[in-house]
Structure 1
């Protein structure tokens, strides 16, 4: 028998959320698709470790209910999102201050409002410091004066400024001059205390960029999503999203443990199964793996992320808020009692606190994080149990200006690429780049695109 001219219409290389969501769109249009993944499991960087009944994300990027692709992507109908309490908590001078949106999730497109301090957090008179020997000794905490949001007048100016971003059409927002985010914020007339005490820690958490070197356009998109929706996480851990996409693909579509060694417009070569012929190839790997297969593709810089997970007997009294340090008094960029947000991430009766360190972590990261957390939560952390410390050196692609928000996904007829490195460095960006790449493949193959799941929203499409 003659061998077939090709063994699949499209071969997708990489089974992260971009590759899996692109495969769903292609299959929905009647295009035979094979997804090849070198790892023994799907998901890429969206992975979750299981330890004694706890579900611990390795990176734990924050999602937003305002991400349109979470609703538009085929295969995610059953995705359950667990929302943080509205807004965020800011820790400053031993107190917790809340800044957030009115309740209502995605419909909350009105002004962000800053409210006065919720309560005085019980702060010990001293906080522990690491001795040279590695033991803890007390050290005096020097408070800083002023609220993280500035005066009442400053807060009154902040609300309308964020409201304008929340309601601004995306195309108009993207037409603004592009600068590093820190420089753009300083030039917009907001008080330095408001920028440093609220916007900087918030954007650092959303972009994984503590120095705010990110393009101001990407920062504005992040602020817009924050204002228009609620911060959230997938129920069961970050891996729930790729697992759901993989589980709802037709049987035989996904092949794990298959390492691709070369690609062309009509075939891929694998270490395990030789050459696989096709009509088109879609690279959906991370940026470095894509450049290894296609020399010449740009490899961006990356933001390293370290996530430290603890459990303790009694949960801190911060509810389901995301807690930020307005004073930047330690390595922790943001932390939360994650089991309050998503109870499925901890065994019944147990508490899970997950904390994120951005940039290069300190040498004794767990000790430094404990010291910082004792101030942020106003309680001793000496008896907290460390469950895991996950460091990812290339966690999030940097988006420094000039940043092309719509980097081309069609390299040649028959050769395409997608991922968060082609869009914004978020789950929304990864899914949207997959949407664009699948559309380009279908156009070139002359295939019929599936009908949209929801009525088209020009603003959401642009986002």
Structure 2
């Protein structure tokens, strides 16, 4: 019998960042690859809408400069990351408090020096002492021993030292810690209640897109480690800059948009528009729900819904390039920022873009409620702000409650693979890392001596 004629070695279904990063590695290894995308643009949920010179992210997930998959060595040397101001701003009792993260051994020694000095300070009623100076870091005494959302000055110094230790902890050690929910882990580790409620809860909610902190504590530890080891950031030009950079690195003709896959097997992908694509292996790189339609029996997780409200103003708040969190949780906004101060390309000259994130289902009057909350957070009127867009994504972020396997299998059987943020951590880092694992599995199998094609085509899923 004649050997089948292959149109490509590998067909990748889906052009999100997981599929595109896998395709980059496959083509770089000399494997002919075709990427099929049902939409008319690459990127999936990392989409950016353009309105009147503004660039508006649909979800606006926070990135970190500490993500290994975003480093130039990972093949993304053309990606420009715009960092927020160090740490975050916390809004509490009508005031803003800077929560910084000291890094490196020098920061750890400085934090320890503060702890020792404050522990030996006079008791209440004694003459007040001047704040302890730490090289390279400003330390200011709070209004009272419990006035700041981080707790006392001793609590703040201990937290800084803990972050420094966390930044240097190998990932492998974090992944063998006892697994709880993120909320349970915060309580179990004996941290001061003021520090947990005033800082760590709102910070983790923003990093995980999970307001109730039901996420696995291992995912939370990884998120906090990235926060401690790097800077929160945004890609210059909008979220779409990352998938577009990955797509530009592929050989011409690799990506085909407007092509919807209807069924898959280990040797082919059938599409609604262009018939059958023959291949030696298939990689499903769609979101979890679409993947389950092509792979009946694949588990579909729950999701954290995200709503992003974008406002334009000619008089931006005086918070600079800071990420602002509500330590009091007094409204729908989890975090907000003048993102045009972080990335000036996101707004036309003379105007500012304020992007705010609401976690959970949005209320009927989401824009009105967000405006009122932003007025309190920024300490200024928002009545004249222009609403540019309200983006609600029900399936924004896959939920990862414990027990959660952070390295879910990407190889279903020889010739059939799956990747995406639902196979790893629910972050940009997780999506890119799952693409790396999937491409490695495909390359290993394509180089093996045993036959690849041992399974019958999967049945076409019934219409919902």
TM range (shorter): 0.7 to 0.9
Aligned to 1:22: 22
- Once residues 336 and 371 of structure 2 are traced to their aligned partners in structure 1, the CA distance between those partners, rounded to angstroms, is 11
Instruction: Please give the per-residue CA displacement for 1:380-437, whole angstroms capped at 9, x wherever unaligned.
Output: 1111111110000010001100010000000000000000000000000000000000
Q: Report deviation, 1:312.
A: 1.1
Q: What secondary structure is seen at the aligned counterpart in 1 of 2:392?
A: strand
Aligned to 1:259: 260
Establish whether residue 283 from structure 1 lines up as the match of residue 277 from structure 2.
Answer: no
Q: Report deviation, 1:333.
A: 0.2
Q: Report deviation, 1:153.
A: 2.2
- Once residues 48 and 425 of structure 2 are traced to their aligned partners in structure 1, the CA distance between those partners, rounded to angstroms, is 22
Q: Report deviation, 1:109.
A: 9.4
Q: 1:87 touches 1:101 (CA, 8 Å); kept in 2?
A: yes
- Once residues 177 and 311 of structure 1 are traced to their aligned partners in structure 2, the CA distance between those partners, rounded to angstroms, is 45
TM-score by length of 1: 0.87
Aligned to 1:384: 385
- Once residues 258 and 141 of structure 2 are traced to their aligned partners in structure 1, the CA distance between those partners, rounded to angstroms, is 51
- Once residues 153 and 198 of structure 1 are traced to their aligned partners in structure 2, the CA distance between those partners, rounded to angstroms, is 15
TM-score by length of 2: 0.87
Establish whether residue 43 from structure 1 lines up as the match of residue 43 from structure 2.
Answer: yes
Q: Which moved more, 1:15-24 or 1:158-167?
A: 158-167
Aligned to 1:344: 345
Establish whether residue 69 from structure 1 lines up as the match of residue 69 from structure 2.
Answer: yes
Q: What secondary structure is seen at the aligned counterpart in 1 of 2:280?
A: strand
- Once residues 441 and 188 of structure 2 are traced to their aligned partners in structure 1, the CA distance between those partners, rounded to angstroms, is 39
| Higher relative strand content | 1
- Once residues 284 and 92 of structure 2 are traced to their aligned partners in structure 1, the CA distance between those partners, rounded to angstroms, is 45
- Once residues 221 and 317 of structure 1 are traced to their aligned partners in structure 2, the CA distance between those partners, rounded to angstroms, is 31
Question: Structure 1 residues 376 and 418, CA, compared in 2 at 3 Å: closer, same or farther?
Answer: same
Q: 1:264 touches 1:281 (CA, 8 Å); kept in 2?
A: yes
Question: Structure 1 residues 238 and 296, CA, compared in 2 at 3 Å: closer, same or farther?
Answer: same
Number of matched pairs: 419
- Once residues 141 and 261 of structure 2 are traced to their aligned partners in structure 1, the CA distance between those partners, rounded to angstroms, is 54
- Once residues 75 and 22 of structure 1 are traced to their aligned partners in structure 2, the CA distance between those partners, rounded to angstroms, is 12
Mapping of 1:108-127 within 5 angstroms?
A: 110-111=107-108
Question: Structure 1 residues 115 and 263, CA, compared in 2 at 3 Å: closer, same or farther?
Answer: farther
Aligned to 2:461: none
Q: What secondary structure is seen at the aligned counterpart in 2 of 1:204?
A: helix
When Rg is computed on C-alpha atoms for both structures, the one with the higher figure is 2
Question: Structure 1 residues 403 and 222, CA, compared in 2 at 3 Å: closer, same or farther?
Answer: same
Runs of 4+ that moved beyond 4 A: 72-75, 107-120
CA RMSD of aligned residues (A): 2.0
- Once residues 202 and 387 of structure 1 are traced to their aligned partners in structure 2, the CA distance between those partners, rounded to angstroms, is 26
Q: Report deviation, 1:152.
A: 1.6
